[in-house]
Amino acid sequence: MTFGYPETLWYLTALPPVGIVLILVVRRSLRTIQRFTGDYQRKDVVATHVVRYFILSVLFTGTFVALIFALAEPSWGDRMVEDERRGVEIAFVIDVSNSMRAEDVDPSRLARARSVARTVAGRIPDSRTAVVIFKGAATVLVPMTEDQVSFDLAMSNLSGALITTAGTNLRDGLSAALDQFPAGSPRHRLIVLFTDGEELQESVDGLADRIRTAEIPILVVQTGTAGGATIPVSSGDVIRDSDGNPVIAGVDEAVLRRIADLSNGALYRISDSGVTQALYDDIRRYSGDDAEVLFRRSGESRYHLFVLLALIFLCGSVVVQSVPWGRQRGVE
């Protein structure tokens, strides 16, 4: 059995205090009965009251539990559901760390990545896109949407200054991207990753299992050259190490290729003149131009059974309260 809203089951923790309250009410009513009935009636009246209240308590508890289970949307068993897969959802994941300011591609790694992403997204009709940037942490600039204006606005303002945490945390970036895909969507799904691969090894090791199980191809665009370049800063100088030497931002193609292979994706070099067309062609190939009919297994929702059970318990409590218990026992 699985639940659509398992957090609803926390309401079951209210059962013990409710039970204590019911016991206290019974004890109080018994003391009242003993005070106002004669000795010859007391035994029958108390027994009748205890039995009646016990049955009502069981029915009330059953109604409460059944309704909670119904709200949790339980399901069991499988059924085949037909889906028509048409269109594509693309999460653009863009590295905005300091190394992306390197200018070994014109005008810079980040600016070139922004240009390629905007061109590709603009050429794919009826697509839904999301924008995630990452540095030492990840930020979702645009959740999955069909609004091209929001996408273009995010791309226009793309900058490393949007995240203050230093580093290159691909784990958070890809995790945030995977979270943007709505559950149950019949569209094809793709992630387009722009990064130079520097300092990503630890993140890739921690993400390997999730990349495999997600079954979402990652199209990795290597945003740098093998020779690398220095990283300019606003003062006109370049970033230097502790010894005063210029820091050279390189690329780690082996790590990027591993990401592509783990996800059954592909690797591209942004320095190649035909990278935009190649990326566009592969997105069309992965997503397909025509509708595709797929069948998937889906759990059979059973919440209505618990609603019915709650109604039975509720009707039972009405019947119990309507029965003239006292007359049947000859005490009224």
Q: Mean of the pLDDT values across residues 236-256? A: 89
Mean per-residue pLDDT over the chain, rounded = 83
Residue 14: the pLDDT is 85
pLDDT at 77 over 90: no
Whole-angstrom Cα distance, residue 62 to residue 49? Answer: 20
Q: What are phi and psi of 251, to 5 degrees?
A: -135, 155
| pLDDT tens digits, 177-231 | 999 998 777 788 999 999 998 766 566 777 778 888 888 999 999 998 989 999 9
Structure tokens at 270: 């942004």
Q: Which of 43-52, 85-94, 139-148, 192-201 has the highest mean pLDDT?
A: 139-148
Q: What are phi and psi of 22, to 5 degrees?
A: -65, -40
Residue 83: the pLDDT is 56
Q: Mean of the pLDDT values across residues 96-109? A: 92
Q: Mean of the pLDDT values across residues 305-314? A: 90
List all residues 6 or more positions away from 262 whose beta carbon is below 8 Å from its beta carbon: 208, 211, 212, 218
| pLDDT tens digits, 16-34 | 888 888 788 777 776 776 6
Residue 291: the pLDDT is 47
Question: Are 213 and 174 within 8 A, CB to CB?
Answer: no
Residue 96: the pLDDT is 92
Q: Mean of the pLDDT values across residues 97-120? A: 93
Whole-angstrom Cα distance, residue 251 to residue 122? Answer: 28
Q: Mean of the pLDDT values across residues 224-239? A: 89
Residue 111: the pLDDT is 94
Whole-angstrom Cα distance, residue 259 to residue 253? Answer: 10
Read off the pLDDT band of 326 (50, 70, 90). Answer: low
Residue 151: the pLDDT is 92
Residue 85: the pLDDT is 55
| pLDDT tens digits, 157-180 | 888 888 878 878 888 888 899 999
Residue 319: the pLDDT is 84
Helical packing angle, 170-178 and 201-214, nearest 10° = 20
Residue 296: the pLDDT is 54
Q: Which of 78-82, 125-129, 317-321, 322-326 has the highest mean pLDDT?
A: 125-129
Residue 17: the pLDDT is 86
Whole-angstrom Cα distance, residue 263 to residue 190? Answer: 10
Q: Mean of the pLDDT values across residues 73-83? A: 69
Residue 41: the pLDDT is 57
Ordered by start, the domain boundaries in the chain are: 2-78+300-328, 87-289
CATH number for the region 87-289 comes to 3.40.50.410
pLDDT at 332 over 50: no
Which of 171 and 115 is assigned the larger pLDDT?
115
